[in-house]
Amino acid sequence: MTSSRRFGRRDSETSLAILDATERVMRAEGYGAVTSRRVAEEAGIRQGLVYYYYETMDEVLLACFQRRSAQALARYESEVRSERPVHAIWDDLTNTIDARLVFEFVALANHHEGIREEVNRFLVKTRRLEAETIRKEAEARGVDLAPATPAAIAFLMYAATLVLASESSTGVTEGHDDVRALFDWMLKRFE
Amino acid sequence: MTSSRRFGRRDSETSLAILDATERVMRAEGYGAVTSRRVAEEAGIRQGLVYYYYETMDEVLLACFQRRSAQALARYESEVRSERPVHAIWDDLTNTIDARLVFEFVALANHHEGIREEVNRFLVKTRRLEAETIRKEAEARGVDLAPATPAAIAFLMYAATLVLASESSTGVTEGHDDVRALFDWMLKRFE
DNA sequence: GTCTATACACCGATAGAC
DNA sequence: GTCTATCGGTGTATAGAC
C-alpha cells in the first residue's frame, strides 16, 4: 500500500533548509516541537512542502541525525590522522559536539527504532575508532595507561564532554574545572 | 487571571497513581508521550481527572521529578552515613537511578524552565554532597587521589553511570566493562 | 472525587491547482 | 517545485452532571 506521492531530492536547497530548521527547533524547543508546521515556519516555506521532500516527520528527524553523524564521523577520521589525534578528538568533543542536540537524539532513540539504530551504529563506530587511536598513540609514545584502558578512556571522554556541555548550557558547573584539569593531565601524557 | 478550578490533594492515591503512570509512559515512550490522555489511560482513570489534581501537564512533569529527586536525595543522605559511603553512592547510581528517566528529564530541562531549575538544584546539591563524602573518606583512609579530586570523581561517577545505563538500555556496551573495571579499581582504594 | 461532554488549537498527511 | 485547501485525529483545558 505504497503512496503515489513523489519526492524531491535530498540534496536540494529546500531540503537542506528543512534540516537546518529542524536542528534549530530541536535545540531551542526539543524534539516535541519538531512538527511540520513549526519546521516549515522556521525554514520560511509552507507546511505542505515538507512532505514533498520527506515522507513523514520521522524521516525528517532521521535525515537530520544522519547528516550530523556523517559530518562528525568525517571530522573524526580526519582527526585521528592528525599529529596529536587524542588532543584533536578531545577538542572536537569539547567544542564541536552540540550536547543539547545529542541529548534530544538519545532521548528520541529510547522510543524510536530508526533513530536508535543510527545512534547505536554511530556510537559503536566512533568509540572503536577513538579507542584504537588511543591504543596506538599510547603504544607509540610508551604511555602506560593502567589501570585505565583505551576503551575506558574513549568512553569517559565522550561521557564527560557530553555532561560537561549539557550542564554548562543550563548553568551547572559544579566540579567542571576539576574534571577538565584531570583530562588535561591525561592529555599531557600523550605529548 | 487565575482559574476558578479546585484541585485535589497531591498525596492522594489517585494523584500518586498519576505520577506512577507518568513515569511508566516516560520510560517507555519518552516525554513527548506524556499527554493527559495517555497518562490517564495508563493510570486507569479518565482524561479529565488529571486536571482535577494538576493544573497543567507541565505541573505533572514537575511533580514527577520532584518526587523522584526527593527520594534520591533521602537515599544519598542515608548512604553517606553508611560504613562504605563511596561504594554505597556508586551502587545507588548504578542500580537505583533510572538513567532513561534522567535522560528524559535533562532533555526536558533544556527547554522547560521549571524542570531546569529543579534539575539544577538537585545536581548541585548531590554533587557537593558526594564530593564532600569522597574528600572525607580519602582523608580518613589516607588515600591520595591525585591527579583527580573529590569533585572530579563525583562528576565522573555521575556522568559514567548515566551514560552506561543509557547505552545499555539501547544495546550499546562498547567499553562498558573497561569503565566498570576502572571504577572498581578506584573503589578498592576506599576499602 | 470521578465522570461525560465539549471548545478550540494543532498536527500529520494527502489532493490538486498553478 | 511550491502553493492552498482539507481530512481525521489528538492535544489541552474547562464546564457541569452525578
User: Could you please report the per-residue DSSP string of B101-139?
Assistant: HHHHHHHHHTT-HHHHHHHHHHHHHHHHHHHHHHHHHHH
Contact pairs from chain A to chain B, CB under 8 Å? 151
Which value, in Å, is the radius of gyration of the alpha carbons in chain A? 19
A32 touches strand D (CB under 7 A): no
A36 touches strand C (CB under 7 A): yes
Distance CA A128, CA A136 (A): 12
List, as own/partner pairs, every contact residues A56-61 make where C-beta atoms lie below 8 angstroms and the sequence separation is at least 24, other chains included.
A58/A112, A58/A114, A60/A18, A60/A19, A60/A22, A60/A34, A61/A22, A61/A31, A61/A34, A61/A108, A61/A112, A61/A115
| Residues in chain A with pLDDT values less than 50 | 1
B12 vs chain A: nearest CA distance in angstroms?
Answer: 30
A104 vs chain B: nearest CA distance in angstroms?
Answer: 6
Short-list B42, B1, B46, B3, CA closest to B19: B42
Distance CA B61, CA A72 (A): 33
Burial per residue of B77-98, b for 16 or more beta-carbon CB atoms within 10 angstroms, e otherwise:
eebbeeeebbbbbbebbbeebb
Give me B3's grid cell: 482559574
Residue B106: what residue type?
A: V
Give me A112's grid cell: 524510536
Averaged pLDDT of chain A = 96
A37 touches strand C (CB under 7 A): yes
Nearest to A175 among B103, B155, B162 (CB): B155
Distance CA A88, CA A145 (A): 19
- CATH T-level topology, domain B7-55: Arc Repressor Mutant, subunit A (1.10.10)
Peptide bond into B147 cis (omega under 30): yes
Q: Do A131 and B175 touch (CB under 8 A)?
A: yes
The pLDDT value recorded for residue A2 is 54
- Protein residue minimizing CA–C1' distance to D10: B37
Residue B168: what residue type?
A: S
Short-list A183, B168, A2, A18, CA closest to A10: A18
Is the minimum CB–CB distance between A74 and chain B shorter than 8 Å? no
What are the DSSP calls for A134-185, one per residue?
A: HHHHHHHHT---TT--HHHHHHHHHHHHHHHHHHHHHT--TTHHHHHHHHHH
B52 touches strand C (CB under 7 A): yes
A131 vs chain B: nearest CA distance in angstroms?
Answer: 9
Which whole-number Å values give the CA distances from B163 to A73, A123, B95, in the listed order?
20, 12, 13
For the stretch B60-72, pLDDT in tens is 999 999 999 999 9
Give me B14's grid cell: 489517585
| Residues in chain B with pLDDT values less than 50 | 1
Instruction: Indicate which of A132, A135, A174, A183 best probes the interface with B, i.e. most B CBs within 10 Å of its own CB.
Output: A174
A123 touches strand D (CB under 7 A): no
Q: What pTM was estimated for this model as a whole? A: 0.96
Give me B22's grid cell: 507518568
Nucleotide whose C1' lies closest to the alpha carbon of residue B40: C2
The pLDDT value recorded for residue A1 is 45
